Amino acid sequence: MTAGVTLADVVGVLDRLYDPRWAAAWDAVGLVTGDPDQPVRRVLLAVDPVQAVVDEAVTWGADLLVTHHPLLLRPVHSVAATEPKGRAVTTLVRAGVALHVAHTNADVADPGVSDALAAALGLTDLRPLQPAAADPLDKLVTFVPEADAERVVDALAAAGAGRLGDYERCAFTSAGTGTFTPLPGADPAIGRVGEREQVAETRIEMVLARHRRTAVVAALRAAHPYEEPAFDLVELVALAGARGLGRVGSWAPGGTLADFAGRVAAALPATAAGVRVGGDPDRPVRTVAVCGGAGDDLFAEVRAAGVDAYVTADLRHHPASEALAHGGPGLVDVSHWASEWPWLADCARLLRDGLGAQADTVEMRVSTLVTDPWIAAPG
């Protein structure tokens, strides 16, 4: 019988998908309320942790609410129910509903918020608009007696070394001869004090994420048979990775800016403000940049990408006007909430995949409440 899923299990998957280390320094992500040991049978996903969404989670009997936007982004000194944020916290805690936030760490993930937006619009061949550097890597090189090589590789792998993409325990080994002379006071595993020793050794090379450096070196010292293991730790050059803000892709059907804007309006949930378009409506569109959420600080990257259209939210007057004055691209401005809502289904799918066999014990629902703050656009 499959054991029940705990909040810690779910948070573990979410943190692998949307590592908190990727979040902007000003952001507030991660677990906000909840006991890691509590069972999770129902998960509600929403963009905003507003009271209406919190009430939906309680009414449905959710054990966990996952939102994109933080509830406590700015510091507060009270969570009394006399204030909106305090009322939301109080409601969640009383009902035993945990709250977890994946915000800018989900924005830059691969796949992340902008991937879901691009997919909803039918874009293909995606790449980051503003690439983030891949996680910094080190390479560990050490030398062990041949008989101990496999055991040491196992220990290093268990500590996090040798993980490359979808592979683990990746290592390169080569044969050689090690030589040393134990000095007085040494307690050599091989050889005698004062006598030169030669040992058939295996050179082991393994790559590791830099944040695992301390754990991997500790594992090496614990597993290595020598009293003083020799090793090199080399910092590797940081290259651009698949993560980053926004996405650039191709719109295979092609058409005009007006055609593409119609596609955007049809693909995203309707809001009062609808879709705004800037630029020549007859402009041909084949390549598109998107950024879920507010993206008018990425116009330099948009121009550098040479795209025909840019889809984002919360475009302000002056940045939009200046962007059009540069000669393009066409602009498609949508609701902030609507631009991020497609990510919820992606998150649910990836969470289910990450839970594996345990996923069958967890029911997931994407909230369809429109939490865009604008309620009317008089004609």
Asked whether residue 2 carries a pLDDT value surpassing 60, the answer given is no
pLDDT at 50 over 90: yes
The residue-averaged pLDDT of 252-266 equals 97
Q: What share of the chain is helix, strand, coil (3-state, %, to 5)?
A: 35, 30, 35
Q: CB–CB of 79/87 below 8 Å?
A: no
d(CA 34, CA 18): 19
Which amino acid is it at 141? V
pLDDT at 252 over 60: yes
Mean pLDDT value of segment 114-132: 97
Put simply, whether the predicted model's pTM sits higher than 0.95 gets the answer: no
Residue 135 pLDDT exceeds 90: no
Question: pLDDT value at position 131?
Answer: 94
Q: In what order do the strands lie in the sheet with 363-366?
A: 30-33, 98-101, 64-67, 42-46, 363-366
Residues of the chain with pLDDT > 70, as a percent, come to: 98
Please compute the mean of the pLDDT values over residues 63-75 and round it to a whole number.
Answer: 96
Q: What is the mean pLDDT of residues 229-245?
A: 92
The span from the first CA to the last CA of the chain, in angstroms, equals 59
Average per-residue pLDDT for the chain: 95
- Spatial separation of the C-alpha atoms in residues 101 and 69, rounded to whole Å: 7
Statement: residue 38 has pLDDT above 70: yes
Contact 168, 157 (CB under 8 A): yes
CA distances (Å), origin 324, targets 4, 160, 216, 315, 317: 54, 48, 51, 12, 11
The pLDDT assigned to 375 comes to: 85
Q: How many whole angstroms separate alpha carbon 223 and alpha carbon 156?
A: 8
Please choose, from the candidates 28, 103, 126, 25, the residue with its C-alpha nearest in 3D space to the C-alpha of residue 292.
103
Question: How far apart, in whole angstroms, are the C-alpha atoms of residue 277 and residue 180?
Answer: 73
Q: Which residue has the tokens 């025909």?
A: 308
pLDDT tens digits for 344-361? Answer: 999 999 999 999 999 999
What's the average model confidence in pLDDT over 277-293? 97
Read off the pLDDT of each residue in 101-108 and give the average, rounded to a whole number. Answer: 98
Q: If pLDDT is split at 50, 70 and 90, which confidence band does 165 have?
A: confident
Q: How far apart are CA 313 and CA 334, in angstroms?
A: 5
> For tokens 């299990």, what's the residue?
9
Rounded CA-CA distance 95/42 in Å is 13
Taking a C-beta distance cutoff of 8 angstroms, is the pair 257, 285 a contact? yes
Q: 17 Cβ partners below 8 Å, 6+ apart?
A: 102, 106, 109, 347, 350, 351, 354
Check residue 377 and give its pLDDT: 66
Chain center to CA of 205: 28
Q: Which residue has the higher pLDDT, 12 or 74?
A: 12
DSSP secondary structure code for residue 359 in this structure: G
**For residue 1, pLDDT beyond 50:** no
pLDDT in tens, 22-35: 999 999 999 999 99
